[in-house]
Each structure stands twice: as structure tokens, then as C-alpha cells.
Amino acid sequence: MENFTTNRRNPRTFLETLSKRSDFVAASKAEKYVGKSIIVQARPNSLQNIRVGYTASKRVGNAVKRNRAKRRMRAAMAETLAFYGTSGTDYVLIGRAQTTCNTKFEELKDELICAFENLNAKLK
């Protein structure tokens, strides 16, 4: 997938979107942070890029709610990843039923920051 933003800490590090199922499956077997409104999985990769994937199952709701949950996760990730993400890591964000769409955006960002801090400590 095409690089669409750079990491502010290291301008040579790019953000990519995960698209292959094998990448999502590999991330599911790695470190995990389970929050009230979001689940974040992280695993180191052999690249210097940060790769991110988003998923919301039918438990989240119909197609409109799933797409809204993914848009909210993308927006929260765009605002926090540059400051808290680690290069050479794959992140997968999973929407939770009822809460991803209904949580205040600032709370969603705070939970994502907490997830990054927790996962970065586990991966080191």
C-alpha cells in the first residue's frame, strides 16, 4: 500500500496500511492491549516502517457503524502515532462492540496513547 504520512520523530520512517490477511493473523499472535473501547495488537516487523491495520467485526454493528468505528480509529491513530508509535512495528486496531463508536474522541485517543505506552514497554 502507498505511504501516506511520515513519522514526526523520524522523517525517514513511513506509515503503511496492512492489507494482507497473513499480517493480521501474525499480529493476533503477538502482544495485545485490551481497553474499554479499543483493542490494539502489536508485533515487531523486519522493516523500518510502521504498518497499521484496522478491523471491526459484525459485532460492532451494521456496515455504517463498522465504517464509522474504522474512521474514528484512523483519525485517532493519525493524531497519536507520530508521537507514541515505534518504528519497525505492526499495529492492528480492533473496534469493540458498542463502545468504539460511542466513546468521546478524546477518550479514544487517551486509550490509544495508553495502549502505545503499554505495548512499547512489552516489546522492548
Concatenate the DSSP letters of all residues of 38-55 into one string: EEEEEEE-SSSSEEEEEE
Is 88 a member of any domain? yes
Number of C-beta neighbours around residue 123 at 10 A: 14
Question: Per-residue confidence at 42, pLDDT binned at 50, 70, 90?
Answer: very high
Is 22 a member of any domain? yes
pLDDT at site 14: 64
Is 5 a member of any domain? no
Query: CATH number, domain at 42?
Result: 3.30.230.10
| Residue 84: its H or E element | helix 63-84
| Mean confidence (pLDDT) of the chain | 88
Is 10 a member of any domain? no
Domain residues for the domain of 41 are 15-123
Is 2 a member of any domain? no
- Sheet-wide strand order for 50-55: 15-17, 50-55, 89-95, 38-44, 31-34
Number of C-beta neighbours around residue 94 at 10 A: 22
Is 113 a member of any domain? yes
Domains identified in the chain, total number:
1
pLDDT at site 47: 86
